[in-house]
A and B are shown apart, each in its own frame.
Chain A
Amino acid sequence: MAYQFDFGQVVSGEYGQWLLSGLDVTLRISGIAIVLSLALGTLVAVLRLSKVRPLVWLAASFTEFFRNTPLLVQIFFWYFGSYSVLPDAVNEWLYARDFEFACGVIALTVYTAAFIAEEIRSGIFSIPKNQLEASRACGLSFLQAMAYVILPQAFRVIIPPLISQFLNLIKNSSLVMTIGVMDLTYMARQIEAHTFHGFEAFTVSTLMYLTISLIVSFSVNLYNRYVLHVRSR
């Protein structure tokens, strides 16, 4: 089959604008979800290490459930399934807003938080136990000890795996196009539908994802080398 390559059409003019606006949505949805998932993930990890049985149990089932189901199914669940769970008034209020985007953020946040919680937990485990005991002995409460002594140390070790989770989140954000969020992947498909020049659109958007990924993993390598003094590769 003869195929005429035409990158000009895809990178400039209206379709170029589409890709850029898609990139913008991808970055925004990932940015918001990164902040929220870090917060939620930390909370879950701390709950899981607490001594209160029901909380530990709750946190454990949260991580196990959301880690072991596909993100795509979770996205569908939040988008189509939340309807009959929430009261009508809440639904109406939500739907008047950018509900697709919100759903994408929620799904990405919850899914990634489950992974982040595990990373943070193993990071905290890497801090010797007597640190916690010592700070408790100094009169700090459990939460204070966590916040001022354990977490700051743990985060230093956790940062590289954490960032690779964030990177996964950015890549996973491509799935939100299934519920109509106009992200980079969505736009690439739109261009394919309009121009039938899918090849070019997919090439350009793949390069955009790659650029983001490479920048992020490059900075992790720098961090490893200069902060943790681990020689990478």
Chain B
Amino acid sequence: MHWDTVYKNLDYLLIGAYPQGPLGGLAMTVILAVGGIFGAFWLGLGCGLMRISKRRRLRWPAMFFIEIIRGTPLLMVVFWFYFLAPVVFGHTLPEAESALIALIVFTSAYIAEIVRAGVEALPKGQMEAARGSGLSHVQAMIFIILPQALFNMIPSFVNQFVSLTKDTSLAFIIGVNELTKAATQVNNRTLTAPTEIFITIALLYFVICYCLTEFSRYLERRINRYQARGR
């Protein structure tokens, strides 16, 4: 085994060529994941609310978007934004941004479904009572429904964040210098330790994702207990 290869290149795997060069490796993975979940939350929230709207001209585009994205492999979405968006829009995007946008668009379709499920899971009486006390539909949504629904959805969001973190590895295919790309670069240069390198980065991903998964389970337990108390 050649664990020394991993050890020698560990700094490259973690932060890339930083600070002499561009940031890369695990740091880039984290940036993509955090930026991705932030963007996907807002886009997904908007899309999810449109999806449950009573107006057709809001509901149908959202439904169309969600079904198309959920029926397409992420890799295809990444390619679409990277190679083909410029054909449509006439200008280019740098690969990290283009990967980030692809991840945001892809994840937002799943977030939208979480939002829909979360809102629909609330008792109908909540909305009726809010409207009855004089709030408009939008006000009721913002002040009564969403705060409760979003709170209940937190574990699902964290789970989606775990998926997203794993999905950032696909950015490698269009050349974004994140963890998987850094690993293949090191592997391509050394050619002696593929097993060790891939085990190492698998463990790095695992540590992040497992901690998040456990966190989500903890939150779920807390929320369940909180709701049981309220009853």
Do the two chains touch directly in the complex (Cβ atoms below 8 Å apart)? yes
Indicate whether B172 reaches chain A with its CB closer than 8 angstroms.
yes
Give Cα distance in the complex from A74 to B173, angstroms. 15
Q: Which residue of B lies closest to A171 (CB)?
A: B73
Q: Which residue of A lies closest to B202 (CB)?
A: A69
Interface string of A165-195 (1 = CB under 8 A from B): 0000001111101100000010011001000
CB-defined contacts of B170 to chain A, threshold 8 Å: 72, 175
A81 contacts B194, CB within 8 Å? yes
Indicate whether A7 reaches chain B with its CB closer than 8 angstroms.
no
Indicate whether A77 reaches chain B with its CB closer than 8 angstroms.
yes
Q: Which of B8-16, B40-48, B63-71, B96-104 contacts A (4 or more CB under 8 A)?
A: B63-71
CB-defined contacts of A84 to chain B, threshold 8 Å: 1, 194-195
Give Cα distance in the complex from A185 to B83, angstroms. 14
CB-defined contacts of B168 to chain A, threshold 8 Å: 70
Given A70-B166, A202-B84, answer yes or no on A214-B71 (Cβ-Cβ < 8 Å): yes
Q: Which residue of A lies closest to B214 (CB)?
A: A64
B72 contacts A171, CB within 8 Å? yes
Given A68-B162, A80-B198, A81-B199, answer yes or no on A192-B83 (Cβ-Cβ < 8 Å): yes
CB-defined contacts of A214 to chain B, threshold 8 Å: 67, 71
Give Cα distance in the complex from A213 to B80, angstroms. 18
Q: Which residue of B lies closest to A82 (CB)?
A: B195
CB-defined contacts of A1 to chain B, threshold 8 Å: 86-87, 90
A72 contacts B1, CB within 8 Å? no
B79 contacts A72, CB within 8 Å? no
Minimum Cβ distance to chain A for residue B139 (Å): 26
A209 contacts B73, CB within 8 Å? yes
CB-defined contacts of B210 to chain A, threshold 8 Å: 64, 68
Indicate whether B156 reaches chain A with its CB closer than 8 angstroms.
no
A-B contact count (CB 8 A): 117
Given A192-B83, A198-B84, answer yes or no on A73-B202 (Cβ-Cβ < 8 Å): yes
Q: Which residue of A lies closest to B162 (CB)?
A: A68
Indicate whether A117 reaches chain B with its CB closer than 8 angstroms.
no
Indicate whether B205 reaches chain A with its CB closer than 8 angstroms.
yes
Q: Which residue of B lies closest to A173 (CB)?
A: B73
CB-defined contacts of B166 to chain A, threshold 8 Å: 68-71
Indicate whether B60 reaches chain A with its CB closer than 8 angstroms.
no
Indicate whether B5 reaches chain A with its CB closer than 8 angstroms.
no
Residues of A within 8 A of B (CB): 1, 3, 64-65, 67-74, 76-77, 80-85, 171-175, 177-178, 185, 188-189, 192, 198-199, 202, 205-206, 209-210, 212-214, 217
Q: Given contacts A68-B209, A81-B198, A199-B84, list 13 more A-B pairs with CB under 8 A.
A: A1-B86, A64-B213, A67-B209, A69-B166, A72-B180, A73-B169, A76-B194, A77-B198, A77-B202, A202-B84, A210-B71, A213-B72, A217-B71
10 A-B residue pairings within 8 Å (CB atoms): A67-B209, A68-B205, A73-B198, A74-B202, A76-B180, A76-B198, A83-B194, A171-B72, A202-B79, A210-B72
